[in-house]
Every structure is written in structure tokens, then in C-alpha cells.
A and B are shown apart, each in its own frame.
Chain A
Amino acid sequence: MTEKILELKNLTKNFGGVVALNDVNLHVNKQEILALIGPNGAGKTTVFNMITGVYQPTSGEIIFNNKSIVGKKRFEITKGGIARTFQNIRLWGDMTALENVLTATDVHSKSGLVGSLFGSIRSRKTEKEATVKAHEILEFIGIDEYGDRLAKNLPYGVQRRLEIARAMGTGAELLLLDEPAAGFNPAEKVELGNTIKKIRDAGYTVLLIEHDMSLIMGISDRVAVLDFGVKIADDLPSVVQNDSKVIEAYLGVPTDAS
């Protein structure tokens, strides 16, 4: 149960003179929900961008399933088993919800261009299997009824959920969710929290960026806190909640302390 699926070793990222991440060590265990929190600009999304290959680390290692993934192409990392969602929704708006998931399932499709053209038996079969799988994922997330609607016409909450469904469609073991509850009302947040727990119980590992404390405290197995590119805490939610450094980072140092 405590097997590490992802490990960041001494990860540093500089943008010119700005140190976005400084010597961060972090690991994610298999089948846990790890929440990554921190004030704005702490470097949370930078961590996601480096894991998914959007940025290359200035120094340090990223180990996924005992293999370094630094320098790999973005689609290869996804194929290898890490998929993400986006802070600002980036679905393919002119495709239906089902097609959005279907396109993600194509990562592992063996049907190529020639097979698609001549309608080879394998291509037809994979096409059907993929469609069945995509429907299953939509059903799991609870939005299968929207399958035939264009993504851009879906309600906001469904779009956010579809982002998760699409990431699951890639067959990834590790899901990186970037503020999945942004803009949700309290009831929707609770519902989303349940979905994320359900995703973990189905065997996925979840690394989560979120600002809503009640959601984080409710669902995470562990919480890591970043502040100005440095990891300042990494423990159980109840411990982190009372950590003086974390409180300082969020609320500032009391003036009389100096």
C-alpha cells in the first residue's frame, strides 16, 4: 500500500532569475489522494507542468514507476500513465463529450492510419471497444447522459467533470487534477469530493491541486504545502492544518512576533 508511484527528487525550476521551485522532494503513494496546496504563485501548477513534460526541470529528477520521465515527450508521458486536467478548462469544444473521452482512449489504440482507411477488422474492433470504454468512463463519472452533446454546450460543472473523464480515458494510473472544484458551490464540491474518492477506490492515484480547505481536509490522505517554491509541510491533513509554518504562509506572520 505504501509503494511509491511518483517521486520528485530535488526538483528545481528557474524561469530566468525567478526560482519557481526550489529543491522540492515529494512522493505520491499508490492509490492515495495527495493534495498539493499553497498560496497563489507557490509553484503548484509548475509542478504539474514539469510532471507532464510541459516544462523541463532546471535540475532534479522525476521518477514514475521507478523510471525517470524527465525529457520524455508529452504524449509519451501520458501514454506511460500520467494524465492531467487543466485549471482553465481545455476541452475540445466542437467535439461531443463522448468523442473527447474517445480521443483520449486512442493513446493505447493500435489502429493506425492505414488500418482506419481500409477499415481493417482490427480497426473496427478497437473502435467499438473504445466507444464502449468511453461510455463506461462517462457513466463512472456520472455524466453519460451528456455523451452526445458538444463539449462547449455543456454546463460548467459537467465540463469540469468531463475533464476528469477525459484524463481517465487515457488509461492513466496517476491523475493530476488542477483545481477541479474551481467555481463550484458547496454542494457540488461535496459531490465532486465523493467522485474523487470513488476514483481512488477504483485503483487510481490522485494528485490534486485545490484551494478549498474543507474539500481537501475531507478527502485527502496526505497534504503537501508549497510556499514560494519550497515545500514547507507534508503530512496528514489534521497535522498540516495546525502547522505553524502553514498558517504563517496563508495568513502571514503576526506583527508583534518580530
Chain B
Amino acid sequence: MSNLRDQGAEFWAKWDRPRRVTFVIASIAVAASLPFAGNFSITNILNTPISSYQDVLVYPVGMFVLMALGLNIVVGKSGMLDLGYVAFFAIGAYSMAILGTHTHLNMWEIFPIGIALAMFAGVLLGIPTLRLRGDYLAIVTMGFGEIVRITALNTQKIGGPNGIANIPSPPSLFGLKFNISHPNSFFWVVLVLILLTIWMIRRLSIRRPGRAWEAIRQDEDAAELMGVPTLKYKIWSFVLGAGVGGAAGVVYASKAIFISPDAFTFNISVLILSCVVFGGIGNIWGVVLGGVFLAYLPERIRFISNARQLVFGIVLVLVMNFRPDGILPRKKREKALLTKDDLGGKND
């Protein structure tokens, strides 16, 4: 039990390529068919009371997983505590809302713009603040999250406290319709984004950027003295995280049709961070699990109404007590990234 993650990694290492491909495709198929699970008698215990199950799958579940993965690049990979992650989510959402209501661009066209704006905000925030460390960085990022929300709250041009309504739904894509009565399409878009993010993190982790982040997380001074341009890689990790948050924001706004500053409180930053910590800092699968669990559980137990926050809190405390490194902790690998076999010919 203690090294559930390592056991999984062992199975994976033993498998040959066709087996791995089959497993990945099967997993994606299962994930993609989740919205239909509410229709069958065996799986309908998944149904959430009060709110619609299909909607819950998009927000919060899918969105939380996506954002937790994005935040994991910052917190888990390079070890910087970011308490204002919701700011990038808000920037993505407001990009969609403002451009969607004021221009003729549709959601697919705004999507890259929203990501770019969030990333740009990441650079702007990152350059001056990433020289700070630990608690100091946490305080500054927390301030940034609040600044973005309060600016939105006090700017009448973008609706102030009333927010922005009538955000257009995305036009159809590949025959899929996107509107209130078709939440599943949004879920699949989020799923694709999640898969892309996972692919990106896995790719980067085993190469130079991953090593640089790992070195920065473990001993930043040693990293700098061993030739790692630490500021550059810290900004990169911040910017990539911001981009993922921005992407989530754009999809969220086009799904929700209406957004207001209330949706981007400090609470969300903390919840996303909880998903990362609860699932297992630095481990993709742990973070995914954490996101699913922390987003889904409060919706599933909505029938106990007021007591649900209490139960949610107790579950959090219990799990963190018994598994302080998260459900699936970071792997403690004792193996090189490239084995000698991979090098070919240097097998002796």
C-alpha cells in the first residue's frame, strides 16, 4: 500500500508497447464515457444529487483536474508555492467573456488568445516575484490572486460585481454541439486538454527542463551554481502553469455563459492546491485522483446539505493524517531516466 505508485510503475515498465497502447486507449475510452455512467443501473450510484451529473463532470471535476495539473507544474515540479493560481483561471475566463461579447471571435479563436494572455500575466508576475522564495512567494502570489479579482470587481466596464452575461457558446466542432443542453461536449474538450497537459508534463519531466525543475526544487543554490539558469526555468514553469489555468478559464466561461468575480475567490486557489497536496505533490496520477476526489465528493454528498463541509473536512484531515504524502505520492525511483539499454550498444 505504501508504494502503490511504484507498483503501478513496475507494471508499466514490464509491459511491452502494444500492451501499453491498449491500456492507454482503454483508459481514455473509460474516461470519455464517464458522462454516460449516470444512465445505467449499475453505475448510476455515480449520479450526483441536486446538481446535474454531466455538469458536475465539467465543472468542478474536469476543471479541477486540469487546473491541479497546471498548478502541479509550479508547486510539484519546481517547488514554488503559488497561492494565487485562480488569477490565471480568471484571466482566461475574462478573456473569453470580454472578447466573446465584444468581438465576433468565437471560442476556438479566443482559446489561444486566452492562453497567451494568461501566460503573459505569468511572465509579468514571475519576473519580479520569482526571486522570492517559499513563504514570501506564497504571500505575493496570494496578493496577485486577490488583485485580479478585486480589479474585476471594481471595473464597471467589465460588469463590476455583476460580471458578464450572455457569453456565446462555442460553434459546433466535428459535429459536436456546444450549449447548455450539451454538457458532454465540454467534458470531452476538457478531457482532451487534460490529456495534452499530461503529455506535456511527462515529456518535459524526463528531459532537461524536468531535471532543472527537480534541481531547483531540491536545492536552488546548488542548481544555480551547477549552471542551471534557475530564474529562467522558474519563469517557464510559472508560465506553463498559467497557460493551463488560462485554458481552463476560457472553457469555463464559454460553458457557464455567465461569469462574475465571485467565481474566482481565494477559496478556489486553496482548493486547487488541496487537490495537488491531497493527491500527491509532483505525481501526475496522484494529482488527477486528488482533483477528481476533491471536486466530486462535495457534490456527491450534497444530500446531507449543511453537514457536507464538515464531512469533507474530516475526510481531508483523515487522509492527510494517514497518508501525509498524498494518496499517490511522488515516485521514489531508483532508476535512471534513460537506461543503458536505451543507449543501444553500450550494454556491457
* Residues of A near any B CB (own CB < 8 A): 52, 54, 74-75, 78-79, 83-84, 86, 90-96, 98-99, 102-104, 106-107, 109, 111-113, 116-119, 123, 127-128, 131-132, 135, 147-150, 153, 166-167, 169-170
Contacts and interface: CB of A to CB of B under 8 A. Distances in A.
A78 B227 contact: yes
A95 B226 contact: no
B334 interface: yes
A78 B225 contact: yes
A130 B147 CA distance: 44
Interface of B: 200, 203-204, 207-209, 211-212, 214-215, 218-219, 221-230, 236, 332-338, 340, 342-343, 346
A53 to B, nearest CB: 8
B204 A116 contact: yes
B214 A128 contact: no
Contact of A75 (B214, B227, B332, B333): B227
Nearest to B282: A94
Nearest to B214: A95
Contact of B335 (A102, A148, A153): A148
Contacts of A167: 226
A73 B336 CA distance: 30
A56 to B, nearest CB: 15
A74 B212 contact: no
Contacts of A98: 336
A253 B226 CA distance: 42
Nearest to B226: A104
B218 A106 contact: no
B211 A103 contact: yes
Contacts of A135: 340, 346
Nearest to A124: B207
Contacts of B218: 92-95
A86 B212 contact: no
Given A98-B336, A113-B236, A123 B225 contact: no
Contacts of A116: 203-204, 207-209
Contact of B332 (A111, A123, A132, A150): A150
B221 to A, nearest CB: 7
B208 A109 contact: yes
Nearest to B228: A75
B32 to A, nearest CB: 24
B338 A128 contact: yes
B189 to A, nearest CB: 21
Contacts of B337: 99, 102, 131
A127 B214 CA distance: 17
Contact of A119 (B203, B224, B236, B343): B203
Contacts of A103: 211-212, 214-215, 223, 226, 228
A93 B346 CA distance: 27
